[in-house]
Structure 1
Amino acid sequence: MAGDPLVLTDVRDGVALARMNRAGERNVLSPELRDALAGALEQADADPAVRCHVVAGGDEVFAAGADIATMAVQDFQDAMRAEGARLWPRLRAIRKPVVAAVSGYALGGGCELALAADLVVASETAVFSQPEVGLGIVPGGGGTQRLARLLGRQRAMELVLTGRRLTAHEARELGIVNVVAPAGGWLDAAHELAAKVARRSGFATELAKRAVLAAEETTLTAGLATERDLFALAMAGDDRVEGMTAFLERRRPVFRGR
């Protein structure tokens, strides 16, 4: 309903859930919903008790992309200054790992939102697509770039130029999805994966995320240098001492995230 929060939040087992709450509107990524989602993630990212995020939608729709009715009356200048575009750099700045929990349709911007996550858990009902060419436009939230880096040029071209829909199992085979879960258990499966990440050193997982993301934006030589710097930074942390001591003492480590 209109008076309900745009995003529902919860924290459990070191995992912060941000669940889009406009299923009746297919979780269309309006500027308001984008801002609320980014704000929820940023707030949780600053919480020391949080070590991993889960972004979710509803059972039938994860997110159905942009508001086409609004876009239909926009022109070039509107597109260039669209406030909704601020979502993507804000997501990129989230330090802690993000798991997308996808059930139902993830279309257009919804697919791009899943692609922007670090890990993806999909219900067996999930459907992924970049259908923008059918509307006379192109993906604008990173779909072309992330698909090309993830799948290679030829497969990315096929998906972007045809707008073909992928099932959860097809997306898993292509490497878009990490886990396919039963229709009734997708959110629990996403929380389970996020909780597994959250049990690790928060300091180390943040650094590891930065190292992997560097591979998308740099040459191999530069990426290896970044990895080495982050490795040295991890070696200076208290969690490294605790982790190695616990290993030698054959006990479970108690990480403090520093």
Structure 2
Amino acid sequence: MSGPLVVDVRPDRVVATLNRPEKRNAIDLDTVEALHALCAELEAEPRTLILTGAGGHFAAGADIAQLAERRADDARRSINQAAFTRIAELPMPVIAALDGYTLGGGAELAYAADIRIATGSLRIGNPEPGLGIIAAAGATWRLPAIVGAARAADLLLTGRTLGAEEALTWGLISAVHPVEQLLPEAHALADRIAANDARATRHTKTALRAPRDAHPRIDDELQAELFESPEKERRMAAFLARRGRA
């Protein structure tokens, strides 16, 4: 299967691979359109999404040849930002499995994920100011939420990149794995998610993504719905039965 995004659909998850290795998976308009099409499918039939890249890199940024041609009206269309926001707002968790260059728009796509893991060759950051633009596809608000305002300012204002160990120390990624274990570890995370109640997982993501002033009311409402669910009754009865046999 060819195209800018190779999609492997499984019963409880989807693996989507950015597939422009000759361009280090630079995100072009075709990639953006493919991400929108994928989101439409996952909004209709929610599954956990694993995002990764082909050829030893996640994504080296947006396609500079296309960016060079964009003008003010293009910026106001939120071309990349709209796709990445749609990724962030998918009902089920998004896992980004990062290898090599994860820069510019590639980093912003990674920031839209719920969980980020990486290999030791990770290079992540936002060099946009060096190109005369800003990181406008989510970095200025997602990155502070992930690593804090001071570290986000450091990264975005200097345009420097982080290696895997520094990204781990900052909390930008949650684990570093050998390259051959990257996708197996992403699937292990997806397995753990799949073992939980899907509705509880979706509600947890909703609560995590809600603004601070929505809490605790949103938590109470989501919990109230779950407290009435048959799956809660089934799972808690099974837990009590296991404990009684222990």
Q: TM (normalized to structure 2)?
A: 0.92
Are the equivalent residues in 2 in contact too, given 1:9–1:17 (CA < 8 A)?
A: yes
Distance 1:59 1:234 in 2: 42
Equivalent residue, structure 2, for 1:256: none
CA 182–70 in structure 1, closer or farther in 2 if over 3 Å, else same: same
Structure 1 residue aligned with 2:13: 15
CA contact (8 A) 1:13 1:195 kept: no
Corresponding position of 1:36: 34
Give 1:12 shift. Answer: 4.0
Task: Name 1:167's counterpart in structure 2.
Answer: 163
Cross-structure match for 2:137: 141
Residues 57-93 of structure 1 show CA distances to partners (whole Å, capped at 9, x for unaligned) of: 1242101221111221222122212544420232233
The answer to whether structure 1 residue 87 and structure 2 residue 79 are counterparts is no
> Contact between 2:146 and 2:171, CA under 8 Å: does it hold in 1?
yes
Figure out how many residues of one structure are paired with residues of the other and give that number.
243
Contact residue 20 and residue 37 of structure 1 kept, 8 A: no
Matched residue SS, 2:179: coil
Structure 1: 5+ residue runs without aligned partners?
A: 252-258
Q: 2:222 aligns with which of 230, 240, 246?
A: 230
Q: Measure, in 2, the Cα distance between the counterparts of 1:148 and 1:89.
A: 16
What's the counterpart of residue 212 of structure 2? 218
Shift of residue 181 of structure 1?
0.8
Q: What SS does structure 2 have at the residue aligned with 1:184? A: helix
| CA shift for structure 1 position 236 | 1.9
Q: In structure 2, list runs of 5 or more residues that go unmatched.
A: none
- Normalised TM-score (structure 1): 0.88
Counterpart of 1:180? 176
Alignment deviations for residues 91-122 of structure 1 (CA, whole Å, 9 cap, x no partner): 23310111011111100111111111000111
Equivalent pair of 1:13/1:198 in contact (CA under 8 Å): no
Q: Could you give the per-residue CA deviations for residues 148-188 of structure 1, whole angstroms, max 9, x where no partner exists? A: 12222211111001111111121111111112111221111
SS of residue in 1 equivalent to 2:6: strand
Partner of 1:63 in structure 2? 59
Aligned residue in 1 for 2:188: 192
Deviation at 1:237, TM superposition (A): 1.7
SS in 2 for 1:180: strand
What SS is found at the alignment partner of 1:63? coil
Correspondent of 2:147 among 135, 151, 157: 151
> What is the rounded CA distance, in whole Å, between the counterparts of 1:59 and 1:166 in structure 2?
20
Residue 238 of structure 1 and its aligned partner are, at CA, apart by 2.0
Change (3 A) 1:13 1:173: farther
CA contact (8 A) 1:20 1:56 kept: yes
What SS class does the counterpart of residue 216 from structure 2 fall into?
Answer: helix
- Secondary structure of the structure 2 residue equivalent to 1:54: strand
Shift in Å, 1:45:
4.3
Measure the CA separation in 2 of the matches of 1:173 and 1:191.
23
Q: Which runs of 4+ in 1 moved over 3 A?
A: 82-85
> Aligned AA for 1:69?
A
Q: Distance in 2 between matches of 1:161 and 1:39?
A: 33
